[in-house]
Amino acid sequence: MSAPNDPAAVVDAFLAAMEAKDYAAAAPFVAEDCHYENMNAPGMVHVGPAGVVGFLEPFFAPIAKNEFHVLRRAVAGPVVFMERLDRHLFGSKWVELPVTGVFEVRDGKIVFYRDYFDAQVLTAQLAG
């Protein structure tokens, strides 16, 4: 099966693989020169599939299940803006994290990716 070239379809396929914690399926959607930045740690840029997966896999490791719900999406050429509600199952407790993601896609691969969220929303739910 060939990779999609439509920016929204590429991002959807990447997120579906990440939701399932299938990093081998997610990595091919990430360009070798992709720059990923989690805006809770601005300035820490993770490059390429190994950098993106290397950062996100440990974050998702304690999570039994993920659900990524897309609330709104805007596409402008190669750029995809996505407002999501990411749900994570830690043990028997679901937590919800509002996230805004910005992606840029070139030739069927993500070349730029940023996630914006308030980490205190997550930690407060885990503590409560």
Distance CA(10)–CA(105), nearest Å, equals 8
Q: What is the pLDDT of residues 49-97, one digit of tens each?
A: 999 999 999 989 999 999 999 999 999 999 999 999 999 999 999 999 9
**Token pair belonging to 42:** 């601005």
Distance CA(78)–CA(112), nearest Å, equals 10
Mean pLDDT of the chain: 94
Specify whether the CB–CB gap between 48 and 35 falls below 8 A: no
Distance CA(74)–CA(11), nearest Å, equals 12
What average pLDDT does the segment 117-125 reach?
Answer: 90
Q: In CATH, what class is 7-127?
A: alpha beta
Whole-angstrom CA distances from 85 to 34, 48, 103, 121 are 24, 25, 16, 12
What average pLDDT does the segment 2-23 reach?
Answer: 92
The answer to pTM > 0.95 is no
